[in-house]
Amino acid sequence: MSVTAVKAIRASFFDFSATAQEAEAIADCARYIEDGLLIIEAGRVVSLQPWKEGCGNADVIDLRGKLIVPGFVDTHIHYPQTEMIGAFGEQLLEWLNQYTFPVESQYHCPQHAAQMSAFFLHQLLSNGTTTALVFGTVHPQSVDALFGAAEALNMRLIAGKVMMDRNAPDYLTETPETSYQQTRELIERWHNRGRLSYALTPRFAPTSSPALLEKVQQLRTAFPDTWLHTHLSENPQEIAWVKSLFPEQEGYLDVYHHYQLTGRRSVFAHCVHLEDKEWDCLHDTQSSIAFCPTSNLFLGSGLFNLQRCWQKGVKMGIGTDVGAGTTFNLLQTLGEAYKVCQLQQYKLSACEAFYHATLGGAHALDLDNAIGNFNPGKEADFVVLDPAVSPLQQLRISNSKDIWEKLFVLMTLGDDRNIAQTWVNGQPVWQREEKERAA
């Protein structure tokens, strides 16, 4: 199939036509078309309409029985941690020292980085994720490998080289000057190349000296349309450590804010233990949060307060945070988000959950003009979901009364078996084999 050819797909469709400022408004933007026709051309959506007899020709791709939703958006993930997912026993700071840093050291090797990049992107696509905001390692070659592999697939991806100059092993630290120079070269090589974008990626405040943060600030001033991607307020020991390392700042977020690293394209992972004034600062600067439920549970970090996030008007997307997170799959991640909310008496509806995984995530990444729904002109990234792939799912779906209940069953019982196909830029890039589903 050529990239420019018109394609027409018949199936059920679900998306959100506009972003929402409050949880209650999401359902008003939801659009479910039980029997619809999606037309795409040159990698973009031309139209999505209810099916009418005679409106399609013989070339319509018939996916009746499947549910098509916009590609999932993962707002926080570490590709080099793929190989240490599910590491036993430790909370954040010990987990970093014991498992994470040794694994990340391997990415000085371009061959290893290329092999793992291919594996990582395959994991994203086979789980229906078409866009992600990704941490590399401190090695520029880690990011060259990832961007090269994503470019070959024409994926919309944002990534960056980790910047860190203290409180980590010597084999992973650099000087502020080297960090600046290598990051600058990567930006010049990759930022705005096709569908790729660059994120300045200081790991977190404890591994950043004031001199390094000044360099990040200089880069942001020089390249104001780059993203900023880091961690914030994940774990109580981490927060106490930041306060002791930066006593002159009022709190954790102030460290980043002082260096003007907050803002519309700034994405802060976790934000589990924010103080009131930190919520206000995130709102006032239009910064975004990546809520990473499986990671927060796995590392015992705490419960993200989604209700407070809405009250404070802070943009939020869902992150898997692999390898502290325990799955690449956004359906499973939404199921865990539901449980995190249950523990705080907040009911995360399927409607709201799918919003966060699609258009809401795109909004949090400031990409909602390009991706996130089937509005005309949007880039045609989408997932073909098989709503029931096991006897239990078939039983439960067969007694679901409406689309909301079906979506809730998908986020409660669903996993990678439910991802039938993944399309990127109007092209099918991944398709589940029947035998894979049976496995």
Which residues contact ligand GUN by CB under 6 A? 78, 92, 96, 100, 203-204, 231, 234, 295, 321, 324
Sheet containing 30-41: give its strands across.
44-50, 30-41, 7-16, 61-70, 382-385, 419-424, 427-431
Sole window of 33-41, 301-309, 317-325, 367-375 interacting with Zn ion (rule: CB under 5 A): 317-325
When the beta carbons of 234 and 381 are compared against ligand GUN, the nearer one is 234
When the beta carbons of 103 and 196 are compared against ligand GUN, the nearer one is 103
- Please choose, from the candidates 289, 235, 284, the residue with its C-alpha nearest in 3D space to the C-alpha of residue 266: 289
Shortest distance, position 290 Cβ to Zn ion, whole Å: 8
Give yes or no for a contact between 322 and 85, defined as CB atoms under 8 angstroms apart.
Answer: yes
Partners of 36 in beta bridges: 11, 50
Shortest distance, position 234 Cβ to ligand GUN, whole Å: 5
Give yes or no for a contact between 330 and 86, defined as CB atoms under 8 angstroms apart.
Answer: no
Please choose which of ligand GUN, Zn ion, none residue 357 contacts, taking the beta carbon within 5 to 8 angstroms, the exact cut-off set by kind.
none
Shortest distance, position 139 Cβ to ligand GUN, whole Å: 15
Please choose which of Zn ion, ligand GUN, none residue 315 contacts, taking the beta carbon within 5 to 8 angstroms, the exact cut-off set by kind.
none
Q: What is the DSSP string of 237-260?
A: HHHHHHHHH-TTSSSHHHHHHHTT
CB neighbours of residue 170 within 10 Å: 5
Shortest distance, position 400 Cβ to Zn ion, whole Å: 34
Shortest distance, position 252 Cβ to ligand GUN, whole Å: 12
**Residue 321 in the binding site for Zn ion (CB under 5 A):** yes
Q: Which two tokens stand for residue 95?
A: 């987990």
Residues 251-270 that bind Zn ion (CB under 5 A): 269
Q: Which two tokens stand for residue 10?
A: 């018949």
Sole window of 113-121, 125-133, 182-190, 319-327 interacting with Zn ion (rule: CB under 5 A): 319-327
Q: Helices 140-153 and 176-190, interaxial angle, to 10°?
A: 10
Residues contacting residue 401 through CB under 8 Å, at least 6 positions apart: none
Please choose which of ligand GUN, Zn ion, none residue 285 contacts, taking the beta carbon within 5 to 8 angstroms, the exact cut-off set by kind.
none
Binding residues for Zn ion, rule CB under 5 A, total 2
When the beta carbons of 98 and 390 are compared against ligand GUN, the nearer one is 98
Binding positions for Zn ion, rule: CB under 5 A: 269, 321
